[in-house]
Amino acid sequence: MSFPLLTATAALPAVGAIATAAVPAARRTAAKWLALLFSLATLVLAIVVAVRFDPGGARYQLTESHSWIADFGVRYELGVDGIAVALIALTALLIPFIVLAGWHDADPLETGSRRWRPTQGFFALILAVEAMVILSFEATDVFLFYIFFEAMLIPMYFLIGGFGDRAHEHGEEKAATQRSYAAVKFLLYNLAGGLIMLAAVIGLYVVAGNFSLTEIAEARASGELTMATSTERWLFLGFFFAFAVKAPLWPLHTWLPNAMQESTAPVAVLITAVVDKVGTFAMLRFCLQLFPEASKWATPVILVLALVSIIYGALLAVGQRDIKRLIAYASISHFGFIIMGIFAMTSQGQSGATLYMVNHGISTAVLMLIAGFLISRRGSRLIADYGGVQKVAPVLAGTFLIGGLATLSLPGLAPFVSEFLVLVGTFTRYPVIGIIATFGIVLAALYTLVLYQRTMTGPVRPEVAKMPDLRVREIAVVAPLVVLLIFLGVYPKPVTDIVNPAVKQTMSDVERKDPQPEVEAAK
């Protein structure tokens, strides 16, 4: 294929970011429409990638390879497997809804502070993040991946610190301080992980002599390249630490609640539904493929950490007073399920984990965006400030309920299938871990239903008595995502058909086979 489709898919939002940033300050509306147009065009290219991808073909397809820094063996090398295709599609799907949901989030403030908010910059930064995330999913050169894995921190830092949530109970000055704290914490945590990964990337080059994922993996499989056990384990830990911070995995998770609380709802969706998926994706692509022995060696500890994330995140979600922090801790719990599925080392677990990445992105987008619409109407993130919303805004309450039910993995909605696969895949190899993890489902039902009860039911509070229902733009944001939640809940085959061959290859990388069921022979 002569046309560089993967490059175009990542370059289009990057060009859109530059074009949007260049729109004159007086043409804010034009900047919004331009950003939306580029995000939709990127979605079209992502669909073309998915259509051109052959699940039964080569592992990495639509490949591109060009010399970049020849003296150090760095190449501009791209390729996608089924897992990458699914996550590129998720990213390209969510960005137009993020842009549309944040239509007025960067408008000039009308408060006494008159703090300037550059509207063009807000949408340009979103498109820049999209470009870097897509390139991270496409890169098969380890050094190229590292560059964009780290570079996406820059636009995210400004989105969190410069365009925070306007609903704050302590006033603008206190809000600015907390936004800055959340942005710096996000940056420091992820930079620390990235620096450790950089040392591991350099170590990998010293051992392998190049940065090509495919070449290193093939050399290891053929026996041409061997690593000392201790070397492989140290390199694995360097990579895994960075990915665990991004994921986020307990105890490296503490940046996420602050970042999501202080961000606008669309940016919060960008963090947890898009950016954080790079961490779990990289565990599958790099940790398991480059360091199979070390991955199996670290599995017991990682499964325990994932289990702690599941229970810990869910327990803290139950006790939250802030709507956004509740959703943040729920996401920590869900990422625990994803990581548990990856390191269960079963085809059901890894297929479920990949499907969970997609489904969690959609369900979290629905819940967080509806929460953002709710918060913008009331001007408060506190759960106690709501009550009786379903009587005055039934469409808002109904979609909020659907998002909540998807979060607790109700059968018939998309997350149920993925969570079920993760639990089955984990139980077949690690039954104790699988049994304990099911308590996360019970806690998810508790925090979701309590949130709905406290905000949507009961007597109508005076402050919400005149709350408007969802507007046309807001319905256009959530309705397609709700339809997708239901569709993938009853028919996940389009996604599983794409990811399953890649999962089988990953299982082959780590030389694992699914445990055989123990049944008595028929007499």
Coil, strand or helix at 348 = helix
The confidence score (pLDDT) of residue 166 equals 61
The answer as to whether 336 is a domain residue is: yes
- The single-letter code of the amino acid at 339 is I
Confidence (pTM): 0.90
Cβ-based neighbours of 204, under 8 Å, separated by 6 or more? 142, 211, 216, 235, 290
Rounded to an integer, what distance in angstroms lies between the CA atom of residue 253 and that of residue 26?
A: 40
Give the structural domain span for 352.
298-513
Q: How far apart are the first and last CA of the chain?
A: 57
Which residues have a Cβ under 8 Å from the Cβ of 69 and sit 6 or more positions away? none
- pLDDT for residue 116: 45
| pLDDT score, position 409 | 87
Q: Is 388 inside any structural domain?
A: yes
- List, in sequence order, the alpha helices (H) in 22-81: 28-52
Is 479 inside any structural domain?
Answer: yes
Amino acid at 350: Q
Q: Is residue 245 part of a domain?
A: no
Token pair for residue 378?
């009331």
Q: What is the DSSP letter of 72?
A: G
What residues contact residue 220 under an 8 Å CB cut-off, 6+ apart? 226, 227, 290, 292
463 inside domain: yes
Alpha helix locations (H) across 77-170?
A: 82-101, 119-138, 142-151, 153-162
Q: Is residue 1 part of a domain?
A: no
CB 189 within 8 A of CB 157: no
In whole angstroms, what is the distance from residue 81 CA to residue 98 CA? 26
Q: What is the DSSP string of 193-241?
A: HHHHHHHHHHHHHHHHSS-BHHHHHHHHHHTSS---HHHHHHHHHHHHH
- Report the number of distinct structural domains present in the chain: 1
| pLDDT at res. 103 | 85
Is there a contact between 445 and 409 (Cβ–Cβ < 8 Å)?
A: no
Q: What is the dihedral of CA 476, 478, 484, 489, to 10 degrees?
A: -150
- Asked, for residue 56, whether it belongs to a domain, the answer is no
d(CA 291, CA 516): 25
- Which token pair is 88? 């590129």
Q: Does the residue 408 lie in any domain?
A: yes
Q: CA–CA separation, 311 vs 442, rounded Å?
A: 10
The series of mean pLDDT values per 10 residues for the chain, 523 residues long, is 86 94 84 93 95 88 86 86 94 94 75 56 93 94 92 91 66 71 89 92 88 84 81 93 92 89 90 92 91 91 95 92 91 93 91 93 93 87 86 90 91 91 91 92 91 88 84 92 93 91 85 69 52
- Name the nearest CA neighbour of 249 among 315, 295, 304, 182: 304
How many C-beta atoms lie closer than 10 Å to residue 3's C-beta?
Answer: 9
pLDDT of residue 517: 66
Cα gap 291→485, rounded to integer Å: 35
In the DSSP assignment, the letter for residue 274 is: I
- Cα(249)–Cα(279) distance, integer angstroms: 10
Judged by phi (left if over 0) then psi (alpha if -120 to 50, else beta), residue 164 lies in beta
Q: What tokens were used for 467? A: 């709350």
No. of H helices and E strands in the chain? 23, 2
DSSP letter for 69, please: E
Beta partners for residue 212, in sequence order? 141
Give the H/E segment covering residue 451. Answer: helix 439-456
* Contact between 4 and 62 (Cβ < 8 Å): no
E strand or H helix at 364: helix 347-378
